[in-house]
């Protein structure tokens, strides 16, 4: 018997026979590991592993995508953003299909290089994602960016959305597996609120199947003992206080704001916008961008998939009109999106 | 004159010059040298395998091969997995105006070398040239004829049979992806592009060998999904046993590819009875191309479709991909 099998055995013995449990992961890479390793096939029947809001491009509001497309159509502008983002659909198409001047970058420092090599053009960095991608954007602001580079910030806060999920009784979360990368920035202490205030067993886990299984086992231990804490099983990478320097930079350049989440709606204090002191770098201010009303995609249940209220396979578009080649909703686009992952791992 | 001109495909003097200075220089069959419109060949009275394929790979030259070698190997392998000994090959080129004659010569040399390896006679051919921009350098079409010495059919595949792969998977797809220079990665991954006749022919004699296929486009997973559909049987493959080079796995992880779906050009999947498996592996292991041959799974009547038993012991279905991970891979 190897270690992995021992953990799986322990999971089976720890699950209370008389109730159904739902453990939510909040990270596309976790969902990737769970699905590709066939982990669900190894779980007890009354233990559900549900994917939550772990995919950055999935929650980016349609309004920002439309603004990005429109900005890329301005002659003087070059829009730069991450690869997955250009393929996310909106009612006005995607950046890839309907944008004109846009480039894909893999890190914010590339945005600087583009801005330096094209000083006569206005470079707009459509900066999206959770704390993991916000930190590098704050870092370039700290080192200084060229005058022709502006930020279209569409960053979101993971702990805030998780708190929304906890309060939604329809979902009924019995345990959280918190994202490893985000935790490296915010620290495992950032999740204490869930175990302390809401009595939800909480773990920080890495991305190997073994480590995730260990996290699940720890959650079940807490369920059994009735004692709730935030346990870090990814301590090689994540510290309790996180990356203090990155957190300081986040705080220096960004302030918490009320924002929309795609398919979910308006959530107070769940996003990050540039602070007033740096508003001269803010593409929203420069181009006076106003919020555009989101339109529902007929039949698409991405919002509920992100909230853990539905599985991708529950969607009537799944594997029919919606596929990675022609995604109808945002969760089918990125390799971190639940629908995209399920497309490849479930029949 | 260092480049292909439109006239090289006109059928006139330039065409004839190209044939004599290049094709006949390297390709030695008497049928080709007789320069008739159609080759006269002898086919024995038994069953004959006849196949055709086109090659549009980008880039034309990649670590481990080029479009010329690939066009011979690909055709030889289609014949070999059909239980045939490859004998004759036709060769048609569609070339873009301006294509380098030096490159052309390299390609024809590769073709000649690879054909010699299988004692394959190139007996007929054709050259057409299209205007600049109308094709990407060069495309090659082949047809191959071989003598069938063993008939394989999916109807013989049954529950309890094992799935053998003759070596590491995903090498070709990875090498070509990297050769496109779209990623800044340096590795030693080479295409596995090779003719498999000398590896597979000895296996033809073993009773209990039921079916073979070379997993090119779509990779091993696609071939096995097709097999499960044709047989209505289940196939379970074991992740831990699937041979993947470490660097191939690393690059695939990085680029989001799955080696099970990456193209191979020098591998075969063999379905054999459990009893025959030992002899098959023994024969394969004596050949350099079969050094890493291994059983990766089994056929089952308990379910339908292709399933992967993962490293942690979980199971998940494998389906065909909506589209190739990498287009123009062969």
Percent above pLDDT 90 for chain A: 96
pLDDT of residue A169: 82
- CB within 8 Å: A36 and B322: no
Q: Kindly state whether residue B256 falls inside one of the protein's structural domains.
A: yes
* 3 state SS of A108: helix
Only one residue has tokens 């495309």, namely B139
Residue at which a domain ends, from B133, B148, B163: B148
C-alpha triplet A137, A109, A186: angle, nearest 5°: 30
Show residues of chain B in contact with A5, CB under 8 Å.
313
Q: What does the alpha-carbon distance between residue A189 and residue A175 come to, in Å, rounded to a whole number? A: 16
Rounded average pLDDT over A308-336: 95
Show residues of chain B in contact with A39, CB under 8 Å.
312, 314
For strands B209-213 and B121-130, give the pairing: unpaired
Between positions 172 and 231 of B, the ones with CB within 8 A of A are none
Burial B18-53, CB ≥16 within 10 A → b, else e: bbeebbeebbebebbeeeeeebeeeeeeeeebebeb
H helices of chain A, where? 3-14, 28-36, 56-59, 62-72, 95-98, 108-117, 131-143, 158-167, 180-186, 192-196, 209-225, 244-253, 283-286, 302-306, 338-345
Do both B163 and B300 map to the same domain?
yes
Question: Quick check: A217 and A11 in contact, CB under 8 A?
Answer: yes
Do both B177 and B264 map to the same domain?
yes
Q: Kindly state whether residue B198 falls inside one of the protein's structural domains.
A: yes
Do both B180 and B124 map to the same domain?
no
pLDDT of A214 above 60: yes
> Which one of A3, A5, A41, A210 makes the best mutation probe of the B interface by having the most chain B beta carbons within 10 Å?
A41
Cis before A265 (ω within 30): no
Q: Phi/psi zone of residue B102: left (φ > 0), alpha (ψ -120 to 50 degrees), beta?
A: alpha
Structural domain span for residue B182: 154-318
- CB within 8 Å: B314 and A335: no
Q: In three state form, how does the secondary structure of B149-166 look? A: CCCCCHHHCCCCCEEEEC
Nearest to B256 among A5, A209, A335 (CB): A335
- On whether any CB of chain A is under 8 Å from the CB of B314, the answer is yes
pLDDT of residue B217: 92
Q: What is the pLDDT of residues A29-85, one digit of tens each?
A: 999 999 999 999 999 999 999 999 999 999 999 999 999 999 999 999 999 999 999
Calculate Rg over the CA atoms of chain A: 20
pLDDT of residue B23: 94
Show residues of chain A in contact with B305, CB under 8 Å.
347
Do both B30 and B133 map to the same domain?
yes
Rounded average pLDDT over A206-219: 97
Do both B102 and B214 map to the same domain?
no
Q: What is the pLDDT of residues A87-102, one digit of tens each?
A: 999 999 999 999 999 9
Nearest to B323 among A325, A344, A347 (CB): A325
CATH code assigned at B88: 3.30.1330.10
The shortest C-alpha distance from A345 to chain B (Å) reads 6
Do both B298 and B198 map to the same domain?
yes
pLDDT of residue A262: 94
Q: Kindly state whether residue B323 falls inside one of the protein's structural domains.
A: no
Go through the domains of chain A in sequence order and give each one's CATH number. 3-56+159-232 (3.40.50.11750), 57-157+243-286 (3.40.50.11740), 302-345 (no CATH)
Do both B134 and B15 map to the same domain?
yes
Burial A120-140, CB ≥16 within 10 A → b, else e: ebbbbbbbbbbbbbbbbbbbb
Rounded average pLDDT over A126-138: 96
Nearest to B315 among A41, A323, A335 (CB): A41
Average pLDDT, chain B: 95
Give mean pLDDT in consecutive 10-residue pieces for chain B, a chain of 330 residues.
Answer: 89 91 92 89 90 97 97 98 97 97 97 96 96 97 97 97 98 94 81 98 97 96 98 98 96 89 97 98 98 98 97 96 83
- CB within 8 Å: B310 and A347: no
Residue at which a domain ends, from B84, B117, B148: B148
Q: Kindly state whether residue B27 falls inside one of the protein's structural domains.
A: yes
Q: Kindly state whether residue B326 falls inside one of the protein's structural domains.
A: no
Question: Quick check: B126 and B93 in contact, CB under 8 A?
Answer: yes
Q: Kindly state whether residue B327 falls inside one of the protein's structural domains.
A: no
Show residues of chain A in contact with B321, CB under 8 Å.
344
Q: Kindly state whether residue B79 falls inside one of the protein's structural domains.
A: yes
Do both B115 and B188 map to the same domain?
no
User: How many structural domains compose chain B?
Assistant: 2
The shortest C-alpha distance from B310 to chain A (Å) reads 6
CATH code assigned at B159: 3.90.650.10
Residue at which a domain ends, from B115, B148, B181: B148
Do both B105 and B136 map to the same domain?
yes
Minimal-distance CA residue of chain A relative to B323: A325
Minimal-distance CA residue of chain A relative to B320: A344
- B313 token code pair: 């012991």
Q: What is the pLDDT of residues B191-235, one digit of tens each?
A: 999 999 999 999 999 999 999 999 999 999 999 999 999 999 999
pLDDT of residue B1: 59
Q: Residues near A159 by Cβ (< 8 Å), separated by ≥ 6?
A: A186, A190, A191, A193
Minimal-distance CA residue of chain B relative to A5: B312
Q: How far is CA B4 from the centre of its chain?
A: 28
Taking one residue from A and the other from B, the number of pairs with CB-CB distance under 8 angstroms is: 49
Q: What does the alpha-carbon distance between residue A225 and residue A235 come to, in Å, rounded to a whole number? A: 23
- CB within 8 Å: B312 and A344: no
Do both B273 and B185 map to the same domain?
yes
Do both B102 and B124 map to the same domain?
yes
Do both B201 and B135 map to the same domain?
no
pLDDT of residue B43: 87
Q: Kindly state whether residue B269 falls inside one of the protein's structural domains.
A: yes
pLDDT of residue A192: 97
pLDDT of residue A170: 86
> Can you name the residues that pair with B126 across neighbouring β-strands?
B92
- B129 token code pair: 């040239």
- CB within 8 Å: B312 and A213: yes
- On whether any CB of chain A is under 8 Å from the CB of B327, the answer is no
């Amino acid at each position: 018997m190897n270690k992995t099998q021992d953990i799986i055995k322990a999971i089976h013995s720890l699950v209370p026979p008389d109730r159904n449990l739902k453990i939510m992961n909040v990270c596309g890479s976790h969902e990737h590991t769970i699905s590709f390793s066939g982990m669900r096939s190894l779980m007890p029947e009354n233990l559900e592993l549900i994917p939550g809001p772990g995919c950055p491009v999935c929650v980016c509001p349609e309004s920002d995508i439309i603004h990005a497309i429109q900005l890329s159509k301005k002659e003087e502008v070059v829009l730069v953003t991450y690869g997955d983002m250009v393929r996310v659909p909106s009612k006005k198409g995607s950046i890839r299909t309907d944008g004109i001047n846009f480039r894909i970058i893999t890190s914010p420092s590339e945005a600087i290089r583009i801005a330096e090599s094209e000083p006569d053009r206005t470079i707009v960095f459509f900066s999206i994602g959770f704390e993991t991608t916000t930190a590098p954007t704050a870092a370039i602001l700290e080192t200084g960016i060229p005058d022709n580079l502006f930020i279209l910030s569409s960053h979101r806060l993971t702990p805030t959305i998780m708190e929304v999920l906890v309060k939604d009784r329809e979902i009924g979360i019995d345990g959280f597996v918190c994202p490893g990368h985000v935790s490296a920035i915010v620290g495992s202490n950032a999740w204490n609120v869930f175990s302390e205030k809401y009595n939800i067993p909480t773990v920080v886990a890495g991305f190997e199947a073994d480590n995730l299984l260990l996290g699940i086992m720890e959650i079940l231990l807490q369920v059994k003992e009735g004692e709730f804490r935030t346990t870090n099983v990814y301590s090689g990478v994540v510290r309790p206080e996180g990356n203090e320097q990155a957190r300081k930079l986040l705080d220096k350049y960004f302030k918490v704001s009320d924002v929309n989440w795609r398919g979910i709606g308006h959530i107070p204090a769940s996003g990050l916008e540039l602070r007033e002191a740096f508003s001269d770098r803010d593409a929203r201010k420069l181009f006076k961008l106003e919020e555009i009303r989101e339109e529902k995609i007929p039949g698409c249940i991405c919002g509920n998939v992100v909230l853990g209220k539905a599985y991708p396979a529950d969607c009537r578009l799944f594997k029919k009109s919606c596929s990675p080649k022609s995604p109808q909703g945002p969760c089918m686009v990125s390799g971190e999106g639940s629908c995209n992952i399920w497309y490849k791992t479930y029949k | 004159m260092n480049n292909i001109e439109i006239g090289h495909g006109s059928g006139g003097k330039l065409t004839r010059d190209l044939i004599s200075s290049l094709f006949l220089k390297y390709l030695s069959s008497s049928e080709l040298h007789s320069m008739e419109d159609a080759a006269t060949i002898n086919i024995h009275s038994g069953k004959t395998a006849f196949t055709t394929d086109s090659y549009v790979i980008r880039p034309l030259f990649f670590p481990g091969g080029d479009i010329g070698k690939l066009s011979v190997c690909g055709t030889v392998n289609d014949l070999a997995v059909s239980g045939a000994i490859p004998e004759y090959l036709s060769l048609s080129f569609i070339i873009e105006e301006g294509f380098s004659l030096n490159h052309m010569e390299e390609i024809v040399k590769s073709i000649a070398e690879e054909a010699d390896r299988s004692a394959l006679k190139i007996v007929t051919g054709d050259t057409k040239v299209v205007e600049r921009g109308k094709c990407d350098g060069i495309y090659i079409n082949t047809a191959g004829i071989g003598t069938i010495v063993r008939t394989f059919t999916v109807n013989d595949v049954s529950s309890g049979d094992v799935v053998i792969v003759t070596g590491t998977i995903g090498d070709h797809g990875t090498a070509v992806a990297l050769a496109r220079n779209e990623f800044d990665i340096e590795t030693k991954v080479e295409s596995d592009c090779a003719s498999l006749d000398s590896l597979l022919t000895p296996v033809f004699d073993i009773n209990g060998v039921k079916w073979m296929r070379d997993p090119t486009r779509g990779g091993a997973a696609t071939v096995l999904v097709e097999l499960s559909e044709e047989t209505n049987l289940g196939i379970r493959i074991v992740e831990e046993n699937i041979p993947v080079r470490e660097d191939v796995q690393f690059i695939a992880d990085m680029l989001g590819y799955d080696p099970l779906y990456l193209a191979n050009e020098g591998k075969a999947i063999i379905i054999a009875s459990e009893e025959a498996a030992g002899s098959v592996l023994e024969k394969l292991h004596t050949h350099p191309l079969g050094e890493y041959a291994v059983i990766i799974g089994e056929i089952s009547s308990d379910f339908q479709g292709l399933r992967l038993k993962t490293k942690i012991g979980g199971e998940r279905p494998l389906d065909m991909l909506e589209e190739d991970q990498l287009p123009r891979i062969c």
